Each structure stands twice: as C-alpha cells, then as structure tokens.
Amino acid sequence: MNEDLVSQEANEALKRIGSADIVVGIPSYNNGRTIGHVIAAAQAGLEKYFPQFRAVIVNSDGGSSDGTREAVLGAGVNKEQLLLLTTPLFPVHRLSFPYHGIPGKGSAFRLIFQMARQLGARACAVVDSDLRSITPEWIDLLVRPVLHAEFDFVGPYYHRHKYDGTITNSIVYPLTRALYGLRLRQPIGGDFGISRRLLWRYLSRNDWETDTARFGIDIWMSTIALAEGYRVCQSFLGAKLHDAKDPGLHLSDMLHQVVGSVFRLMQEYEPAWASSSGSQEVDLFGFRFGVGLDPIEVNTDRMIAAFRKGCEELGEIWSAALSRETFDSIRRIGSRNPASEEFHMDDDLWSQVVLDFALAYKRQPVERGHLLRSLTPLYLARVASFVYQTRLLGSNEVENRIENLCLSFEQKKPDLIRRWRSEPNTHRSAKAESVADAKLSLEV
Amino acid sequence: MLDLLEQILKQAVERVSSQVLTYAPGLLAALFILAVTLLIARLVRWVLVKIIKGFAADRFLRRSGISSMIDQTGRLQTSQVVAKTAYWIVLVAGMLVALNSFNSSLSTRLTETVVFLFPKLLAAAAIIVVAAWIGRYFGRTTLVWAVNESLPWPRKLAVCVRAIFTFAGVVAAADHLDFARSVFLAAFIMVVGGMVLAGSLALGLSGREAIRRYLEEKKGTPRETIDDRPLWTHL
C-alpha cells in the first residue's frame, strides 16, 4: 500500500533540486483562476520569512484542463513590493506534477508528502488552491511553529462567517474535541503545517486509499496528530475566503467522507480517547484581528423540507442507528409543523444523534454507506435550527453557542464509552496494526 | 349360506394379513428410520448451534444485510438458521429413506425426483436469495439517494429497484429449473423494455429543460435562485 507515486519526471526534478528545508504543497483541480495568487503568496512568504532556507513549492494536480499547471509555473512575485530585509540565499523552486490514483485531495497530499520526504524537508505546509484571502504571512504562521518551536502539527484558526463551515461547527470540532481532549478549532480547515516526524508517520500509514484519499484527508491528518500525541498548535490566519466548491459534488458525499473518516478513526484510536475526559486549550499563535466576511445565504426552508422527507422515508435506517429515545425525539420534531422560526433541534439531541451514529457505525446494523448518507437530513435539520437560533447573534455569541454544543458532547462522553465498550469490537486487528505502525514511525 | 360368509371372511382376513405381512416390515423399518432420523436431526442441530455460536458468522450476516433481509428486527442468529436448515435437510432425507423402505415404484420415483431436483432447487433458492439481497442493497441506496436529492416518491423508487432485482433473480431461477422459462423471460423483457422507455422519456424531458437553461445562461440571463444554489460552505 505504501507505493511510491512520484513519477519519473518528478524524480528527475527532485534530483536536480537535491534537498529542501521547507516544502509548501498546493493540491489543485481546475483552479487556474486562483492558484496564481496562492503560489505568489507562498513564494513571497518563503522569500520574506525564510530567506536562509531552501524551499520548494509543489503543486499536485488532479488533471486540470483549465491551465492550472501553466498558472503555477508562470506565477510571478513583484519582489520590490515585499520589502525584503534579507536577500534570499536560495531560489524558491516551483514544481507542478499530476498525481495518480483515486481522484481527490488526499491523493494530491500523498504525492506532496512523498516529494517532501525525498527532499528531506524539515517542515511542510499545505494550503488550498482556491484561497482568495491567503497572504505571505500564512506561510510564516504555518511553518515557523514547526521549525522554531518544535511543534509537529499546526492547524489553522480562521475568522469565518457564522454559517460557514457548518460540518466543522456542528460535528467535527465538537466530536474531535470531546474525544481527544484538545480544542483544535478547525480540524478540517485544509491549511496545515507539518513536521518531518509527522509527515513520515502519515506516509507509513496504509489507509491512503480509503475516504482519506478524498475529503477525509483533513480530519485524518488532524486526528492522527491528536490521537498519537504529537505536539499540536494553531495559528491565526485571519479570514478564510475561497472559491465555491465543485458544483458536481454533493453534500451527502462530503458528510460520508468526513464523518466516515471520524468514525473510522474513532474505532482505531479507542484506547487514546476512551481514557480521557474534558478538554484543554491548544496553543494559538498569530495576532488576532477582526475581519470582514463574505455574507452567506442559507435556505432553511429547503433544509427543513429535506429533514421532513427523511423522517417520512428513512425511518428504517434511523431506527436501526439511533437509540429508542433519540429516534422518538427526532420523529416528534419531524411530525410537528411549527412556523419555521420555532423549529428547534437542541444541543443535547443533536450530540446524541451524532454519538448514536458513531455507535451504529461500529455496530453496523445497516451498511455503512447508507448509514452515513442517511445522516444528511438530520444534519440539515440541525443547521436549520442553528441558523434560526443564531440569526440575530454576533460572532462571539455564536462561538458561545458552539461552545455549549461542545460541552454537551463532552458530558455525554462517559455514556459513549460505556456503550462503546458494550458493543462487539470489530476493529481489533486494524488497531493493533496502527499501534505497531505508530511505534515504527516514532523509531524513524 | 354361513359357509359362504365364512369363506368370504377368511379370504378377507387372509388378504389383510398378507398385506400386513407384506407392508408391516417396511412400515416398521420406516418408523424406525424416522425415529432415528429425528434423533440425528436434533443432534445435528444441537452440535451446529454449539459450533457456529463462536464464529463471526452473525457479524457477517448483520454487516451484509442478509440478517435484516430475513428478519426485520435484525436479531437473526446464524447458528439458528444453519442449525434449522441442517435439521430439516436431515429430516427430509430420513423421510425419503423411510419411503424407500416400502420398495414401491411410487416411492422410488418420488425419491429419485427429489434427489434429482434437490441440487437444482437449492441453486435456484440461492439465486433468489442473492438477487433479493442485491435488490435490498440497491433499493436502500436508491432510497437514501432519492431522499438526499429531494426526488419525489423515494420509497416507490426504492421498491421498484428492489422488485426489479428480485424479479431478475426469479427469472434466472426459473431458467435454471427449466420452469416456464419463456413466460418469465418474456415478462422480464417487457418490464425492462418498459423501464428503458420510461427512462428515455424522463431523460428526454429533463434534458429539454436543461438545454433551455443552458441556452438562457448563454444569452446572459442566469436563472439560478437560492433554491437552485448548492450548499457549498459546509466544510
């Protein structure tokens, strides 16, 4: 499984460059419009903040047909505007190669990590190619904690619109925080800094061709760092403004891949999360400042209609996945016909739904793909409820609401552990394998 | 008169006793075989329950969905199913052996027919079970997909998908058994043909709308509303 994806052409380029201290990886697919800006920002960041280091920017492309790779190689930086205090000792190399394997961000990252390993990089940063708000400081904030403070994993911390990143806010952040006891605010943010040690650990894993290869990559990286005890911190990057996602992609696929990855890793890392309680702050670097954000339109009526349809049609799956009380509560909400503003799925019920699904994922009363995709209407109901509850609230108050949800997850953790242990264990061998892998990687 | 009556009675008794003498050993043997078979069947059932309980077969059944296909509560136990199946196979085999002990042409023919048909019946049953399982899987896939895509009548769509797979299984089983082959095949072709026609019509009608939208957008009059806009900011 640990196959080498680096092509002949890439190998030759790597031989020509020899070695590098820092690798900035940028996965792309038809991002010709925005990637030039991202490349320019990355190059400026490397030249301005790390002039004494050898650095390479690697674009791992999924077969773009809109000139993305040409944009990467042709992107330029006006060095006069950078006000460099030190002249860079080495030129920043730019490489662009197509990756092979399952199409997705994970496969793109795999190629970047393999190239970083071959170059002997001490730090690697990855940033999305559709970012409009990236600045050279992002590279500094993602790389410096690794190079100078010996952190292994630097997660992003952004200001986002209250309705942006709803999978993060309603599922991934609260659940990850409750499980692994660390308040990493954007575990699926997409822009990370990684140490050599952690990079080798990622490459030693043999689950690259699961949901990890697609949207699951971000939570996979964060979870491994959290669960295996690597040093984790966050950097404040300002606002996250990015292009609209691929319109051919559906929400239920996103949920399937992200939540499926969280649940799968939950099985693997049971010893890591089942022995802890509560949560702790994670070190946050960078100067926090207020930023303007793009407005987001949310159609709650459509969300509630989707939930009602789910209530009518998906009872057979939900009843197998949810506990009796949770299922009854969901049906009660679905059968009521309140004016939209009164529609409400509280923190307690929502956290119970997510934890019941996690248990069902382990128990497998129905096929896992069906189970995860059937979560979509419930998730939409929760988002609609959240939108109604926070319509008039400012960002700090919304953050308090998210904090309350996190506490609800944390309160339910002892019950989760009890129920989890009463389920038959289906992941023993994978877990043992993973622990063995972790030991190997620490030896490396 | 009395002599005649006595003679008739004697002949009747002789006939009965001769028939009893002819069939009694067979009957006794059949009863004995049945009793022994019953004991063996129970023994086999008990042993299988004990052996299979420790295996991961129940988990496999639950994961594969076969469990909930047979038993809606999802609490079906493999050990029970296998043991019961083995119990009935032993019992039926015992009955056939018992019937054979009469050594009549009817019992021999019956035994031959069952022995000849049994593997075919078993294979046909397996085909139908597999088809039903695949139908259930794709039916559920359709149901969840249709709900998430907000399509009308998700359950009806799912039932249709499930019925098609099951029907295909029945056709294949009938073909295997050489039973009303042409009838099932003709019905299947009609159903599939109807579906293809319906699908083509649906595609054509929706395609017309898609092309109209495309042309409108080309002209610079985008029709996208909030309802059409996907929800892209979840991650």
Give pLDDT, residue A64.
79
| Residue segments in chain B with a per-residue pLDDT below the cut of 70 | 53-77, 209, 217-235
Residues contacting residue A77 through CB under 8 Å, at least 6 positions apart: A40, A43, A44, A47
On chain A, the residues whose CB falls within 8 A of the CB of B235 are: 165, 167-168, 188, 190, 215, 218, 245, 254, 258
Radius of gyration (C-alpha) of chain A in whole angstroms: 22
Q: Give yes or no for A370 touching B (CB within 8 A).
A: yes
Closest CA to B34 of B94, B107, B88: B94
Q: What percentage of chain A reaches a pLDDT higher than 70?
A: 88
pLDDT (average), residues A265-293 = 89
Nearest CA in chain A to B157: A313
CA distance to partner chain B, nearest, from residue A364 (Å): 6
Nearest C-alpha in A relative to B56 = A426
Predicted pLDDT of residue A435 = 45
Q: State whether B230 and A247 contact (CB < 8 Å).
A: yes
pLDDT, tens digit, for every residue of A372-431?
A: 999 999 999 999 999 999 988 888 899 999 999 999 999 999 999 999 998 765 544 444
Q: What is the dihedral of CA B14, B19, B24, B27, to 10 degrees?
A: -160
Asked if B140's CB is within 8 angstroms of A370's CB, the reply is: yes
DSSP A206: S
Q: Burial-class residue A168 by CB neighbours within 10 Å (0-12, 13-18, 19+).
A: buried
Q: What is the DSSP string of B68-94?
A: HHH-TTS---HHHHHHHHHHHHHHHHH
State how far the alpha carbon of A257 is from the alpha carbons of A166, A167, A426, B137, in Å: 15, 12, 20, 20
Residue in B61, B71, B150, B233 to test binding to A, most A beta-carbons within 10 Å: B233
How far apart are alpha carbons A144 and A138 in whole angstroms? Answer: 10
Q: Do A309 and B147 touch (CB under 8 A)?
A: yes
Over the stretch A207-252, which tens digit does the pLDDT of each residue have?
A: 888 877 677 899 999 999 999 999 999 999 998 887 655 444 578 8
* Torsional sign, CA A87, A90, A95, A99: negative
Which of B62, B144, B233 is nearest residue A314 as measured by Cβ atoms?
B144
Do B137 and A367 lie within an 8 Å CB cutoff? yes
Label residue A131 by pLDDT band (50, 70, 90).
confident
Interface test with B, best of A258, A299, A371 (most B CBs within 10 A): A299
Which pLDDT score is estimated for B218? 63
3-state secondary structure of B230: coil
Q: What percent of chain A has pLDDT over 90?
A: 53
Q: Is B68 on the interface with A (CB under 8 A)?
A: yes
Measure in Å the smallest separation between the Cα of A136 and chain B Cα atoms: 24
Q: In angstroms, rounded to a whole number, what is the distance separating the alpha carbons of residues A269 and A266?
A: 5
How close are the terminal C-alpha atoms of chain A, in Å?
18
Q: Which residues of chain B are within 8 Å of residue A252 when distances are taken between CB atoms?
A: 144-145, 148
| pTM confidence score | 0.78
Model confidence over A318-366: pLDDT tens digits? 999 999 999 999 999 988 766 677 788 999 999 999 999 999 999 888 8
pLDDT given at position A190: 87
Task: Give the integer Cα–Cα distance in Å for A302 and A310.
Answer: 12
Q: Suggest the residue from A314, A357, A426 to mutate for an interface test with chain B (most B CBs closer than 10 A).
A: A314
Helix (H) or strand (E) holding A55: strand A55-61
- pLDDT at residue number A419: 93
Closest chain B residue by Cα to residue A161: B233
Give A444's pLDDT tier (boundaries 50, 70, 90). Answer: very low
> Is A299 in CB contact (< 8 Å) with chain B?
yes
How confident is the model at residue A1, as a pLDDT? 46
Taking the C-alpha atoms of residue B143 and residue B157, their distance in angstroms, rounded to an integer, is 7
By C-alpha distance, which of A150, A228, A238, A145 is closest to A192? Answer: A145
- pLDDT per residue over A240-257, tens digit each? 887 655 444 578 888 898
pLDDT in the model for residue B227: 41
Contacts of A377 in chain B (CB under 8 A): 147-148
Per the CB < 8 A criterion, the answer to whether A160 and A242 are in contact is no
Helix (H) or strand (E) holding A320: helix A315-321
Rounded distance between C-alpha atoms, residue A127 and residue B80, angstroms: 55
pLDDT in the model for residue B73 = 55
Taking residues A285-289, what's their average pLDDT?
85
Q: Does B221 touch chain A (CB under 8 A)?
A: no
B231 touches chain A (CB under 8 A): yes
* Residue of B74, B144, B234 with shortest CB distance to A254: B234
B95's tokens: 């009955």
Rounded to whole angstroms, how far apart are CA atoms A350 and A166?
A: 13
Whether the CB of B140 is below 8 Å from some CB of chain A: the reply is yes
| Interface contact A317-B231, CB threshold 8 A | no
* Mean pLDDT value of segment A282-299: 81
Alpha-carbon distance of B116 to B64, in angstroms, equals: 32
Q: How far apart are CA B77 and CA B126, in angstroms?
A: 19
Instruction: Confirm or reject contact between A215 and chain B (CB < 8 A).
Output: yes
What Rg value do the Cα atoms of chain B yield, rounded?
A: 31
Interface of B with A in 171-210 (CB under 8 A): none
The answer, yes or no, to whether residue A437 has pLDDT greater than 70, is no
Q: What is the mean pLDDT of chain A?
A: 86
Inspect the interface and report whether the beta carbons of A314 and B65 lie closer than 8 Å. no
Q: pLDDT per residue over A46-79, tens digit each?
A: 988 999 999 999 998 887 777 788 888 777 766 6
Which residues of chain A neighbour B154 with C-beta distances below 8 Å? 309, 313
**Contact status, residue A246 vs residue A366, Cβ threshold 8 Å:** no
Please give the pLDDT value at position A77. Answer: 66
